[in-house]
Structure 1
């Protein structure tokens, strides 16, 4: 009901909507409307209240609430269910607990903060509150475990493509799972799975994007090889818009791959924005 109240206010954003009008339209009491308005205010929505006029939505918060992300998506599978947590140790850890029971294919786990974010090889991933996009995509692909690495490849391309399209920044893919701009890391991807010998039971694609992290935070935490999109762009990034574009791009690539089980065509575009091809790499195992 809270989200329905929000949507009605959003539709009438430039004018007041009386509590009586809302209660009649939604078939609830005015007291119920008032309670939901207060819940929205606590979540950071700026809603102007007037005894004689009613309520008017003035501003939406910079959060990744399901109601905000869902309205920007027109996807068929990815993001049709969104699980939101203010603070979690790791979205991948949280997703793993869900996947070991039952879950919706394509569900998203989104957090405003990760207290123990993880990268490859167990490395810590700094995930300050409200400054990044910390999300895991939960999948049930009919694939062999050997195909899992291809999901990481298409995810990396989806992230780089989204940053390029939305922000006009020269995002490159640093094999196998990082996105860099001007040599600085702005995104990491961690793909994990539960599998048997010949079949994947679930796949979790964790994505961490340094969207609006400030330079002081990176310096204070000794993150000299990292940057944020805000620092590079010189202005705050709309996280909701970037995440929704990423999910749309990911779904298209993912569906194409599931249909063909091939990334040959994708690799042609991938190579064009690779930061690794033609360079020496050091393999750590």
Structure 2
């Protein structure tokens, strides 16, 4: 597959599209290259930046995913963005903001690209079982910086790992990054405002409806080195995964961990 033409994002066109769909966002900036959009917005949050600020980078030199994993993508081949939220909802519900972002992207890919995505706990979006987007939440005082890295036009040879994919490879009907970004941010803004006012129940229900994790046999690796295998049976009110362990034992609630979907023979 030949590498597609990758034109730079037009910030003014993106802002115009977004303004037609949402009045939530206050500022959208596009930079050619930066170390990390999450780090940049976290620094802005520490200096009092208001909610609704968006930063998109055509390329990241020090991008990070969950568990401090390196995240890379060719310039202009994806949508690498972060946005700043200042939730008024109780802090214990903030963990569901990753689910909220994944739900908004699933709805965007269906509406704009004609693709049916599935959601892997806690923060991955999958197409045909392969990762097309990773999401990273970072609390900074009274703010939360949400980061999303969506593979748009990467070819097979450009994928960072074999388990990844891109909208191009999945057969998306549209690859216009400005259109995708505007629709995604509009969805995030609408779902977030409802989440802030009414709580996370609707987000959790929408996430469950498109989950790739619930009902699966999974292996969980915890930050302290402990591991757990069992069946993913639910999500609690704070967005934590509930796992029924193999053999005897009560259902465990997982707040943070690396989850692998296992095949039945595993």
TM range (shorter): 0.7 to 0.9
CA distance in structure 2 between the partners assigned to 1:249 and 1:88 by the alignment: 26
Distance 1:266-1:144 versus aligned 2 partners, 3 A rule: closer
Query: RMSD in angstroms over aligned alpha carbons?
Result: 1.6
- Residue 251 of structure 2: aligned partner: none
* Conserved? CA contact 1:117–1:127, under 8 Å: no
CA distance in structure 2 between the partners assigned to 1:138 and 1:65 by the alignment: 21
Report SS of the residue matched to 1:187. strand
* Conserved? CA contact 1:64–1:110, under 8 Å: no
- Residue 174 of structure 1: aligned partner: 120
What 5-or-longer segments of structure 2 have no aligned partner? 1-5, 224-266
- Residue 245 of structure 1: aligned partner: 183
- Residue 77 of structure 1: aligned partner: 24
Deviations 1:81-133 (A, max 9, x none): 01221101110011111111121211101100011111110011112210000
- TM-score, normalization: structure 1? 0.72
Report SS of the residue matched to 2:33. strand
Deviations 1:200-221 (A, max 9, x none): x111000100011121212xx5
More displaced, 232-241 or 209-218?
Answer: 232-241
Q: How many residues align?
A: 215
1:104 paired to 2:47:
no
* Conserved? CA contact 1:77–1:251, under 8 Å: yes
CA distance in structure 1 between the partners assigned to 2:18 and 2:33 by the alignment: 23
Determine which structure has the larger helix proportion and give its number: 1
CA distance in structure 2 between the partners assigned to 1:107 and 1:192 by the alignment: 15
1:259 paired to 2:219:
no
* Conserved? CA contact 1:139–1:203, under 8 Å: yes
Q: How does 1:15-94 map to 2 (within 5 A)?
A: 62-74=7-19, 75-78=22-25, 80-94=26-40
Distance 1:236-1:167 versus aligned 2 partners, 3 A rule: closer
What 5-or-longer segments of structure 1 have no aligned partner? 1-60, 196-200
- Residue 29 of structure 1: aligned partner: none
Higher relative contact order (CA 8 A, sep 6+): 2
